[in-house]
Structure 1
Amino acid sequence: MTTPAQRQTALLVSVVGAVIVALDGTILLMAQPVMQRDLGASVAHIQWTSTGYLVAVAALLVIAGRLGDQYGHARLLFVGVLGFGAASAGIALAPSVGWVIVLRVVQGGFAAFLQPATLALLRLAYPADRLGKPIAIRTGAIAVAAGSGPLLGGVLVAHLGWRAVFWVNVPLAFVIAVLALTVRTPATQRGNSPRLNVTSAGLLAIALATLVHALADVPARGWTAAPTLLEFLAVIGVATMLTRHERRTTHPVVPPAVARSVPVTASMALLLVTTAGLFGALFRATFHLQDVLRLDPLDSGLRVLPLTVLMVLGSPAAVAAMRRYGARRTAIAGTVLVVVGIAGLSRLGPASTWMAMAAAFAAIGAGFATVMVTATGTVVGDAPPGYAGVVSGLKQTAMNIGPTFGIAVAAGATGTAASTMGSTLLILAALAALGLLPASRLPRRPARQEGEHDTTAALPAQAPTPQAAPARHTNS
């Protein structure tokens, strides 16, 4: 058991750890054009400052979560955030774009150590039936950080230059590292955890890295380019090898109790397609705002602001809805809102009013907050404490692949011409609508109120915490 003070510390570390990664992801957008001019870099080089980071993160998230289950999530978070801060300082001092790319890959690797730990700490600190509020707080904080990133980045770049957007990570990382040393969570018998299977881990890393690289290059090369098709074939081949090895080994990187969990797999599928629809729509809408409506980046950001506001407001509302209606109905409602919002954007044109656009973005924000809170609560709450890291890593992997896939669909389906905006957004709305299928597989019953406990649940046989019952889905 943890004390209220220990839970608050874990929540604080979880929130600020998630915020630094979310902020870094969007603040960079404002720095890249200036970085290109300052370093004399090509467009391809600048693209690799993002692609290299994404590939490293995707390759290592599940492995990092698995290591956290074995060695402790506070330790992994400490190492991850210190490395993230050190890499940020290195980028700020980089003399050439080559160094920036290399250090962005390093930064992505440490971000992979950091991200699963921020979620796993919540699972260890809070009972499963009390995860709703902390997950809602974390989701709202991520929305604020991601939404404010472009504005903060614009201010820093305008007054201090592009290197300032990386320097800002350094003091934040130091503070988070100090806080991580104070985190106390119940022991999960890490010594009994199976060792990391190096072969499985390597195959998984190769498959995920290749997949993300292929998707990231679709906007430039298209879906049918020979290199793209070869990479997709390579992913299929490596994934087949991984599946066969996982079935034979006694120490799979994804434990059977996790791989066979319907709530966990359904939640990850829901997050994958919903984030794909959302980020693909944002990518496409950005071109509409700036190329068709001729708005500058700041005005464009203000048009999208209702999405951020409704994500913040929608997170606690989603917790209340889950307690009353259960995860299934709440997730279905959230998915419908996302689909309606994206479809609403497809009908907008140069003569559309600000209110019509705001309503569409607000629907997307409210729906995505609902899906995020529901799916995250399901994934984390359904996981036995000893598997909190690997489950968190899987969830974060879905959250990284989904946006890359969505942007590939948005850019590769019909290009970025103004005349194709409506059809592209309808494709993305249909993609998000696929989330209704996994949403219908989430637990039906409402969450127990705080203080109520499930005394009938039995821990999966291979979980490393035989003394504790697994949390059933918390609907939070």
Structure 2
Amino acid sequence: MTAPTQRQIALLVSVVGAVIVALDGTILLMAQPAMQRDLGASVAQIQWTSTGYLVAVAALLVIAGRLGDRYGHPRLLFVGVLGFGAASAGIALAPTVGWVIVLRAVQGGFAAFLQPATLALLRLAYPADRLGKPIAIRTSAIAVAAGSGPLLGGVLVAHLGWRAVFWVNVPLAFVIAVLALAVRTPAPERANSPRLNLTSAGLLAVALALLVHALADVPARGWTAAPTLLEFLAVIGVATVLARHERRTTHPIVPPAVARSVPVSASMAILLVTTAGLFGALFRVTFYLQDVLRLDPLASGLRVLPLTVLMVLGSPAAVAALRRYGARRTAIAGTFLVVVGIAGLSRLGPASTWMAMAAAFAAIGAGFATVMVTATGTVVGDAPPGYAGVVGGLKQTAMNIGPTFGIAIAAGATGSAVSTMSSTLLILAALAALGLLPASRLPRRPTHQEGNDTTASHPTQAPTPQAAPARHANS
């Protein structure tokens, strides 16, 4: 099989793997009310069908990426997607809400195996100077999947019931698993690969699980509730122990080459704060549209549609900007657009025109597409060879914690929807603006992607285990 064909298969697996996770996240929103009625569940139990999934994903992403670096990313992706599909089938057959909660957590664990591998495959299949286009395609596909999830979910629930939204994952998972078997990558050199530090892995999993659980429960308990504060203190305590252990161990869960990479750290910081601002704003504005403007879910979705459209259209434009202006200026411009869009939403009121709201959502969509393409390209392209899995896990962790944090801020605001929307959105805009600081630390020079140099004709290879070659980790 030729190298171009292998790249196309790797891109297809990466895109479809990312799509199945993005689609599952938004399609579930339309199934939860019917699930609650059918299973006789409480609101808290239905919330745990989402919280349990998020906790499992966040706890295992970095660990899964590390395992992929050691045992091979196609193998981890194959296991992850089959487990994801099997858990989905189990949820569709679940007799009680308790089984749904447990299987959603299992599904989240397998999703953690799946997500870092989809990014690592791109790093392995494409040289750094040609990553822009595949990352843009992947970003656009995620935007389409996330945007169409509520619509597809509504149709399925209305005609086939809530269990149908989980059956959708089963054939998709099977297709991805078959495609994953066709991906050919250099075998990882396990003899030279650091083993997984179980102590670090356990501490990291506990810290991330506690953090996500605490943030997810803020809307119900508040920021100053005793359980919330205790969980945050526990996170600090576990993180402190983890940091000390990482400095002393010979096999840290986050390798020094990754921890010292300024572009990687800056990219993850940008993703953390911009996703927090974006998802927090969407959460707040959705309630405003339905509770204050009295729009139905379809009409509300149409108001937000410019965001999805501009994410799809903005991704290839971001690649061109990245190639011409470099990561630093492109990321700064994208972050600025997100901030302007969220701030624009804060000025809207019942008398505002549809065009004003569309312009604000369009700015957010274009800006977030630019941030996603730039930060993802930097994370994947600048990842130290041999560590793309753990870097992909860290990137996905930021993408999971950021939205949870933003929604906690938006939902934790007290007062009526009218009185708090403007101030809450301004806080979220300020939070997104913090991304300008790490954006200024990204590389300044343009990346000449899709170039014609000789490295563009074959996957990146490196010489020795000491230099952490790309083939070392299937990254």
TM-score normalized by the length of structure 2 = 0.95
The verdict on how the C-alpha distance between 1:458 and 1:366 changes in structure 2, with shifts beyond 3 A counting, is closer
The verdict on how the C-alpha distance between 1:464 and 1:397 changes in structure 2, with shifts beyond 3 A counting, is farther
Match for residue 225 of structure 2? Answer: 225
TM-superposed CA distance for 1:470, in Å, is 7.6
TM-superposed CA distance for 1:426, in Å, is 0.4
Per-residue CA distance 1:367-391 (angstroms, 9 max, x = gap): 0000000000000100133101000
Verify the 8 A CA contact 1:318 1:370 in the aligned structure 2. Answer: yes
SS of corresponding position for 1:364: helix
2:304 corresponds to 1:304: yes
TM-superposed CA distance for 1:472, in Å, is 17
Distance 2:450 2:156 in 1: 43
Verify the 8 A CA contact 1:268 1:375 in the aligned structure 2. Answer: yes
The verdict on how the C-alpha distance between 1:162 and 1:475 changes in structure 2, with shifts beyond 3 A counting, is closer
Distance 1:4 1:458 in 2: 9
Per-residue CA distance 1:73-109 (angstroms, 9 max, x = gap): 0000000000000000000000000000000000000
The verdict on how the C-alpha distance between 1:460 and 1:27 changes in structure 2, with shifts beyond 3 A counting, is closer
Comparing 372-381 and 177-186, the one that deviates more: 177-186
Per-residue CA distance 1:95-151 (angstroms, 9 max, x = gap): 000000000000000000000000000000000111000000000000000000000
Distance 1:472 1:76 in 2: 15
The verdict on how the C-alpha distance between 1:415 and 1:51 changes in structure 2, with shifts beyond 3 A counting, is farther
TM-superposed CA distance for 1:280, in Å, is 0.1
The verdict on how the C-alpha distance between 1:89 and 1:474 changes in structure 2, with shifts beyond 3 A counting, is closer
Verify the 8 A CA contact 1:326 1:475 in the aligned structure 2. Answer: no
Number of residue equivalences: 475
Task: Structure 2: give runs of 5+ residues left out of the alignment.
Answer: none
TM-superposed CA distance for 1:449, in Å, is 4.0
SS of corresponding position for 1:415: coil
Verify the 8 A CA contact 2:68 2:474 in the aligned structure 1. Answer: no
Alignment of 1:445-464 (within 5 A): 445-451=445-451
TM-superposed CA distance for 1:464, in Å, is 10
Verify the 8 A CA contact 2:386 2:469 in the aligned structure 1. Answer: no
Verify the 8 A CA contact 2:69 2:474 in the aligned structure 1. Answer: no
SS of corresponding position for 2:33: helix
Per-residue CA distance 1:22-70 (angstroms, 9 max, x = gap): 0000000000011001110000000000000000000000000000000
Distance 1:30 1:177 in 2: 27
The verdict on how the C-alpha distance between 1:373 and 1:463 changes in structure 2, with shifts beyond 3 A counting, is same
The verdict on how the C-alpha distance between 1:471 and 1:455 changes in structure 2, with shifts beyond 3 A counting, is farther
Verify the 8 A CA contact 1:60 1:205 in the aligned structure 2. Answer: yes
Verify the 8 A CA contact 1:53 1:109 in the aligned structure 2. Answer: yes
Verify the 8 A CA contact 1:384 1:459 in the aligned structure 2. Answer: no
Distance 1:475 1:309 in 2: 34
Distance 1:463 1:257 in 2: 16
Distance 1:431 1:153 in 2: 31
TM-superposed CA distance for 1:413, in Å, is 3.0
SS of corresponding position for 1:414: coil
Per-residue CA distance 1:285-336 (angstroms, 9 max, x = gap): 0001100111111111111000000000000000000110000000000000
TM-superposed CA distance for 1:194, in Å, is 0.3
Distance 2:427 2:376 in 1: 26
The verdict on how the C-alpha distance between 1:366 and 1:412 changes in structure 2, with shifts beyond 3 A counting, is same
Per-residue CA distance 1:182-232 (angstroms, 9 max, x = gap): 001234434311000000000000000000000000011000000000000
Distance 2:460 2:8 in 1: 31
Distance 1:473 1:189 in 2: 5
Verify the 8 A CA contact 2:340 2:363 in the aligned structure 1. Answer: yes
The verdict on how the C-alpha distance between 1:474 and 1:245 changes in structure 2, with shifts beyond 3 A counting, is closer
Verify the 8 A CA contact 2:346 2:426 in the aligned structure 1. Answer: yes
Distance 1:459 1:5 in 2: 12
The verdict on how the C-alpha distance between 1:48 and 1:60 changes in structure 2, with shifts beyond 3 A counting, is same
TM-superposed CA distance for 1:475, in Å, is 21
2:350 corresponds to 1:350: yes
SS of corresponding position for 1:294: coil
Per-residue CA distance 1:371-430 (angstroms, 9 max, x = gap): 000000000100133101000000000000000000001111335522211111000000
TM-superposed CA distance for 1:351, in Å, is 1.0
Comparing 466-475 and 425-434, the one that deviates more: 466-475
Verify the 8 A CA contact 1:280 1:403 in the aligned structure 2. Answer: yes
Distance 2:474 2:330 in 1: 9
Distance 1:464 1:293 in 2: 62
Verify the 8 A CA contact 2:58 2:397 in the aligned structure 1. Answer: yes
Match for residue 68 of structure 2? Answer: 68
The verdict on how the C-alpha distance between 1:474 and 1:240 changes in structure 2, with shifts beyond 3 A counting, is closer
Distance 1:189 1:428 in 2: 45
SS of corresponding position for 1:472: helix
Distance 2:228 2:14 in 1: 37
The verdict on how the C-alpha distance between 1:336 and 1:261 changes in structure 2, with shifts beyond 3 A counting, is same
Verify the 8 A CA contact 1:315 1:369 in the aligned structure 2. Answer: yes
Verify the 8 A CA contact 2:307 2:365 in the aligned structure 1. Answer: yes
SS of corresponding position for 1:467: helix
Distance 2:93 2:440 in 1: 50
Verify the 8 A CA contact 1:257 1:462 in the aligned structure 2. Answer: no
Task: Structure 1: give runs of 5+ residues left out of the alignment.
Answer: none
Distance 2:36 2:16 in 1: 30
Match for residue 93 of structure 1? Answer: 93
Distance 2:240 2:202 in 1: 13
Comparing 155-164 and 295-304, the one that deviates more: 295-304
The verdict on how the C-alpha distance between 1:6 and 1:202 changes in structure 2, with shifts beyond 3 A counting, is same
